[in-house]
Structures are given as structure tokens and as C-alpha cells.
Amino acid sequence: DGGITQSPKYLFRKEGQNVTLSCEQNLNHDAMYWYRQDPGQGLRLIYYSQIVNDFQKGDIAEGYSVSREKKESFPLTVTSAQKNPTAFYLCASSMGQADTEAFFGQGTRLTVV
Amino acid sequence: EDQVTQSPEALRLQEGESSSLNCSYTVSGLRGLFWYRQDPGKGPEFLFTLYSAGEEKEKERLKATLTKKESFLHITAPKPEDSATYLCAVRHVGGYNKLIFGAGTRLAVHP
């Protein structure tokens, strides 16, 4: 089945640590995205990538980093510089044209302990 | 400033009681309006895309409509399994594929 796989489903981070969230898609989509969701708020864009080896900052990129070395993969690193990392993180992909829908993974819930 | 506002924040319905959810937007040059359904602890599930004023899409008990300033998600004779958060998002000209989301409407349908 085609889709987007995020792992792990739950992740616990100690303060000061960097952690990496995985996102893999087999939909042959060019564009990939990372969103953050907090209770009572809409999804906010962290980073997006239109094509391999290229990515742009979204609205809340501070404290996060990404790479796009393969079309299928778009990992997100939450660094120790992110002051409030506890949230639900969602990865998405789309065909790349501006008028096409995006499809989401099942999310990773990150908690700082 | 580009903005998407959904109302109400929460809606409680009895099974079979039809209603509508609202999504109003202010963007420069709409390239598409998208509706998603999200269950607790899960990723959003795509429902509909609307591109131009007057367009309508239907799926089972759901019907989405679009005007120049807002979209409605009409739910006809809802069932408890329709309980979820419904999210609206837009893409606009010059937005580099970026989706702008509203905060969502939490729908609870009681038997």
C-alpha cells in the first residue's frame, strides 16, 4: 500500500538532547512537509521541500533542522535549541503542484521529560 | 495577512441532526481549499479539494461548498462515527505550496 510512514509513534526526549523523527513516503511525491500541532491550534509549518536536496523554512523553523537526500525520505531533527518541543509532529507529502492535496502520516508525539 | 478561521470551535450534535461547519479565509489568489478529518492521535485524512467559487463536492454524509470568502462543510444526518476534528486549509498564489490551516472544529455526534 502507498502511504507515508512516520516513526516512532511516541518519543521521549531529555532536555538538551537532539532527536530525529523519521518520515518515509512511497507515493513518488516530489514535495514533503513537516507540521507541528499543539492543542487548540492549527497545524504550523516547520519546513518543506519541493525537490531532493532543496528545502525551505516554514513559519516556525527555529530549533529544527531537516535534510532531503532522497525523494522518499525527509527526516526532522528537533535540536536542543527548540525551547518548547513537546507537541504532535506531522509529516505530509504532495505531488508538488500548488493545487494538489497533501497526504499525512500518522504523526509522532514528542514529549520532553 | 493570510488567515484561515474555522467556526464553531466545537459542535455537539444528536445523531441525525444536520449542521454546517464554516471556514472563512483571507488569502491573495486562492489555489485550492482543502478539508481534512482528524481523529484523536492520528494524522489528518484528506476529504475534499475545492478550487473555485460555486464548486461543490460530496462524500457520503458530507458536502463541501465554496464561495469567494468561505467554505462550508455540511453534515447531513450525522452518525457517531462522524465525530472527529475537521480541518480546513488553503493554498494561495505565491505560497510555494504552503498549506495554511485553521484551528479546526471538534465535532461530537451523540446517539
Alpha carbon B45 to chain centroid distance? 11
pLDDT tens column, B84-101: 999 999 987 776 677 899
CB contact set of A84 (below 8 Å; sequence gap of 6+): none
- Check A43 against B49: CB less than 8 A apart: no
Q: Are A25 and A5 in contact (CB under 8 A)?
A: yes
Instruction: Give the span between the Cα atoms of A24 and A34, in whole angstroms.
Output: 12
Dihedral angle, C-alpha A59, A102, A89, B75, nearest 10 °: 110
Query: Is B101 touching A (CB cutoff 8 A)?
Result: yes
Average pLDDT over residues A99-104: 86
Q: Which residues of B touch A102 (CB under 8 A)?
A: 34, 46, 99
Average pLDDT over residues B75-84: 98
The x, y and z cell numbers of residue B108, run together, are 461530537
Predicted pLDDT at A73: 98
pLDDT tens column, B40-71: 999 999 999 999 999 999 999 999 999 999 99
Probe site for chain B from A29, A34, A104 (most B CB atoms < 10 A): A104
Predicted pLDDT at B45: 97
- Position of cell 462524500? B59
pLDDT tens column, A28-53: 999 999 999 998 788 999 999 989 99
pLDDT tens column, A50-75: 899 999 999 999 999 999 999 999 99
Closest-CA distance, B66 to chain A, in angstroms, reads: 15
**Residue ranges of B 16-75 with Cβ closer than 8 A to chain A:** 31-32, 34, 36, 41-46, 49, 51
Predicted pLDDT at A61: 96
Q: What is the DSSP string of chain A?
A: ---EEEE-SEEEE-TT--EEEEEEE-S--SEEEEEEE-TTS--EEEEEEEETTEEEE-TT-TTEEE--SBTTB--EEE-TT-S---EEEEEEEE-SSTTS--EE---EEEEE-
Which residues, in sequence order, are bridge partners of residue B49? Answer: B34
Of B84, B88, B82, the closest CA to residue B103 belongs to: B88
Q: What is chain A's mean pLDDT, rounded?
A: 92
Closest-CA distance, A98 to chain B, in angstroms, reads: 5
Q: What is the DSSP letter of B27?
A: -
